[in-house]
Amino acid sequence: MSEEVICFESEVRVRFNETDPLGIVWHGNYISYFEDGREAFGRHHGISYLDQKKYGFATPIVKSECEHKLPLKYGEVAKIRTTFVDSSAAKMIFKYEILNAENNVVCTGKTVQVFVDKLGQGELWLTIPKFFEDWKRKVGLLK
Amino acid sequence: MSEEVICFESEVRVRFNETDPLGIVWHGNYISYFEDGREAFGRHHGISYLDQKKYGFATPIVKSECEHKLPLKYGEVAKIRTTFVDSSAAKMIFKYEILNAENNVVCTGKTVQVFVDKLGQGELWLTIPKFFEDWKRKVGLLK
Amino acid sequence: MSEEVICFESEVRVRFNETDPLGIVWHGNYISYFEDGREAFGRHHGISYLDQKKYGFATPIVKSECEHKLPLKYGEVAKIRTTFVDSSAAKMIFKYEILNAENNVVCTGKTVQVFVDKLGQGELWLTIPKFFEDWKRKVGLLK
Amino acid sequence: MSEEVICFESEVRVRFNETDPLGIVWHGNYISYFEDGREAFGRHHGISYLDQKKYGFATPIVKSECEHKLPLKYGEVAKIRTTFVDSSAAKMIFKYEILNAENNVVCTGKTVQVFVDKLGQGELWLTIPKFFEDWKRKVGLLK
C-alpha cells in the first residue's frame, strides 16, 4: 500500500428525473454519480473506460456499497470526491464521497472492479495486467 | 395499407424510481413503456429486437412522439396497447396507447424505426429487407 | 410571434449507462438531454422549474417529439441548443437541437408544457399566468 | 432473532435500456431490481411503500450493497428472491438474490431502511413504530 493518495473532485448537477416523490435523489442514482466520479478521475489520470478499452480490457464492477447520510434535492450541485484505493490484487478499487454545497457528506461508497480480457476469450485476469502496472508506476504508486 | 390491424396488449407496473417530485411518472419514462409494449408485441408476433438481430439487422428509432393526457402514479399498473402501422416504406412504425386501470387513455405515442444492416457496413436499407417482407406475409399484411 | 429569438446553449457529457448494446445513446435518453437544455435555459433566463414553483406553478409536459439524425457514443460531449418558441397560448414551447463535437445535428426535438396551479386545486390554466407574462415582458417578447 | 424466514420471489424482465455497450445489465440497475423485489415482497406481505405511507411513514434507504457474480443480458427474465432480515433495531433490512433462468445466482445484495415520520417533523425514529411491530406480530416474527 502506497503513501500516495490519488483522488479527483468533480461536480454533478442533480437532474429532475433523478428525484423521487419524496423530492430527493432516488438512492440508486448515487451509483450513477459514483460512475461520473470514477470516469472524471479516469479522464484526469488516464485510466478511464476508454483508456482501458484501448488496451483490450473491460473492468466490470463486482461489488458496490453505498451509505446515505443526507438527501440531495433537485437544483443542488454536488461534489464527488473519488479516491483510488491501492491494492496488490488484480482489482481496481475506488472510494467515493459526495458532498453538498455546504460541504456536508451526503453519501459515501466503494466499488470494486476486475479485469476482463476483451481481445481474448473474455477471461478474468487474476494478475495485474501490464497496462495497469504501467499506470500505477506513472502515477507514483509503484517504484 | 392493409385492412388487417395487428396489435398486442401488455402490462407495465410503475416503478417508484420512475416517478418524480410531483408524484407522477416522469414524462421521459413513457418512451421506456413504449419500448416495453413494442418488445412484448415483437415477442408475441416474432419480430422483436432479438428476432431482427438473428437476421443481421438493427432497427434504430429515428422518430418518436408522445402526448400526455393523464398522469400515472406509483402503485398503478398500466396497459400498453401497441399497434403495428403498415406502410410500404422501409420502416417499422408503431403506435401506442397507454391506459390506466379505469381504461382511460393516459398517453399516446408513435415511433418510427429504420433498418440497418449489422452484418455489412452498417448501412441504412432503403428497401424492405426480405425477413421483414416474410414477416408481413406471415401475419397476413402481404398476399 | 416576436422577432426576438431567445435561446441558450449548454453541454451534456454522455454517461456510460445512457448507452445501449449498440454502443450509442438509447433514444429515450434524449428526452433527459432536452430537460437538461430546458433547465439550463431556465436558470439563465429566470424561468426554471424552481422559478415556476416559487410562483405556485408546475408546468407538466403534454407533448414531446424527437427526431434522430446521428448517434452519440460514450465519451462524447454534446451541445444542447434550446430555443423558446413564442406563442399566445397558455403554453411553454421549446425546440431543441443537439449537436456533436463536429457541430453536426444529432437530434432535434420539441416539447409543449401547460400551466398547473399548485397553490389552488391543481387546475390547468387556460390563460397565461401573470408571472409568465411578466417574464415575457422582461425578456422583450411583450411590449 | 426469529427462526421464521419470510421471503418472496418475483420476476423481472431485463429492459433493453438497462443493458450497456458490453451487452449486459449495467450494474447500477440491480438497485432497481432490488426495489422491484422489495416492493413485490411488500405487496404480498402488506408492508409496501404505500402501506407504510398509510401509517405516515417513509423508509429511506441508508445503506445498500450489491455483489455481482454473473451478467444478465437483454431478453433474460430473472428471479428476485427477497428475504426479510429480522432485527430488534428500528430498521427494515432486506437481503436479495437474483437468479437467472438456469437458477444460477447472478447477484446478491442487501438494503437497510430507517423510519421517518412524515406526519410530524420528518424525524428519524429510534424505536420501532407501532405499525411495524404490529406487522411483525402478524407475520409471526413477534409473539
3-class secondary-structure state, position A43: helix
Closest-approach residue (CA) in chain A for D106: A62
Query: Nearest residue on chain D to C26, judged by CA atoms?
Result: D17
pLDDT of residue B34 exceeding 80, the answer is yes
**Mean pLDDT value across residues D15-30:** 95
B26 close to B14: Cβ distance less than 8 angstroms? no
Q: How many CB atoms lie within 10 A of CB A45?
A: 17
Strand partners for B25: B19
Using CA atoms, how far apart are residues B7 and B81, in angstroms rounded to an integer?
7
Mean of pLDDT over chain C: 94
Q: In angstroms, rounded to a whole number, what is the distance separating the alpha carbons of residues A18 and B32?
A: 15
- Output the pTM of the full model: 0.96
Q: For a pLDDT cut of 90, what percent of chain D falls above it?
A: 89
Statement: residue D1 has pLDDT above 50 = no
Q: Is C95 on the interface with B (CB under 8 A)?
A: no
Rounded to a whole number of angstroms, the distance from the CA of C2 to the nearest CA of chain A is: 30
Is a pLDDT exceeding 70 seen at residue D2?
no
Q: Residues A13, A77: contact at Cβ < 8 Å?
A: yes
Residue of D15, D16, D39 lying closest to B16 (CB–CB): D39
Element (H, E) at C136: helix C130-138
| AA letter at B81 | R
pLDDT recorded at residue D120: 73
**The pLDDT of residue D4:** 67
Closest CB to A68 among D61, D65, D66: D61
- Interface contact C74, partner D, CB < 8 A: yes
pLDDT tens readout for residues D31-50: 999 999 999 999 999 999 99
**What average pLDDT does this structure show over B2-10?**
82
The answer to whether residue C35 neighbours chain B at the CB level (below 8 Å) is yes
B138 lies within 8 A of chain A by CB: no
Give the pLDDT band (50/70/90) at residue C131: very high
Give the pLDDT band of residue A10 (cuts 50, 70, 90).
Answer: very high
pLDDT tens for each residue of D60-78: 999 999 999 999 999 999 9
By Cβ distance, the residue of D22, D32, D60 closest to A28 is: D32
Q: Determine the pLDDT at residue A138.
A: 95
What is the three-class DSSP state of C72?
A: coil
A16 pLDDT exceeds 60? yes
Given a contact cutoff of 8 angstroms between Cβ atoms, the answer to whether C63 and B67 are in contact is yes
Contact state of D32 with B50 under an 8 Å Cβ cutoff: no
C100 phi and psi, to 5 degrees?
Answer: -85, -175
* Residues 6+ away with beta carbon under 8 Å from A17: B20, B26, B28, B29, C32, C35
pLDDT at D3: 55
Convert the pLDDT of each residue in B86-137 to its tens digit.
999 999 999 999 999 999 999 999 999 999 998 877 789 999 999 999 999 9
Q: How confident is the model at residue D119 (pLDDT cuts 50, 70, 90)?
A: confident
> How far apart are the C-alpha atoms of C90 and C124, rounded to whole Å?
9
What is the ipTM, given to two decimal places? 0.94
Cell numbers given for C125: 390554466
User: What is the tens place of the pLDDT at every residue in C80-107?
Assistant: 999 999 999 999 999 999 999 999 999 9
* pLDDT above 90 (res B82): yes
What confidence tier does B2 reach under pLDDT thresholds 50, 70, 90? very low
Look at C66 and B63 and tell me if their CB atoms are within 8 Å: yes
Which residue matches cell numbers 447500477?
Answer: D28
SS3 for C13? strand
**pLDDT category, B1, cuts 50, 70, 90?**
very low
Beta carbons of C15 and C54 less than 8 angstroms apart: no
Task: Tell me whether residue B104 is exposed, middle or buried, using C-beta atoms within 10 angstroms of its C-beta: 0 to 12, 13 to 18, 19 or more.
Answer: exposed
Contact at CB, B17 and D36, closer than 8 angstroms: no
Residue B3 binned pLDDT confidence (cut-offs 50, 70, 90)? low
Alpha-carbon distance values, D50 to A2, B73, B139, D40 (Å): 49, 11, 43, 12
Q: Does D68 contact chain A (CB < 8 Å)?
A: yes
Query: Per the CB < 8 Å rule, is D21 touching C20?
Result: yes
pLDDT at residue D57, as a whole number:
95
Backbone angles phi, psi at C99, to 5 degrees: -120, 145
* Other Cβ atoms within 10 Å of B42 Cβ, number: 22
Mean pLDDT for A41-69 is: 96
Residue D100, C-alpha cell as written in the block? 437467472
Percent of chain A whose predicted confidence (pLDDT) is above 90 = 89
pLDDT above 70 (res A1): no
pLDDT band (50, 70, 90) for residue C4: low
Is D74 within 8 Å of chain C by CB? yes
pLDDT score, position A59: 95
Spell out the SS3 assignment of chain B.
Answer: CCCCCCEEEEEEECCHHHECCCCEECHHHHHHHHHHHHHHHHHHHCCCHHHHHHCCEECCEEEEEEEECCCCECCCEEEEEEEEECCCCCEEEEEEEEECCCCCEEEEEEEEEECEECCCCCCECCCCCHHHHHHHHHCCCCC
How far, in whole angstroms, is CA D91 from its chain's centroid?
12
| B65 contacts C64? CB cut-off 8 A | yes
Of all residues in chain A, the one with the smallest CA distance to D112 is A67
CB within 8 Å: D58 and A22: yes
Of the partner residues C32, C49, C75, the one whose CB lies closest to the CB of residue A50: C75
Nearest chain B residue to A20 by CA distance is B20
C50/B contact by beta carbon, under 8 A: no
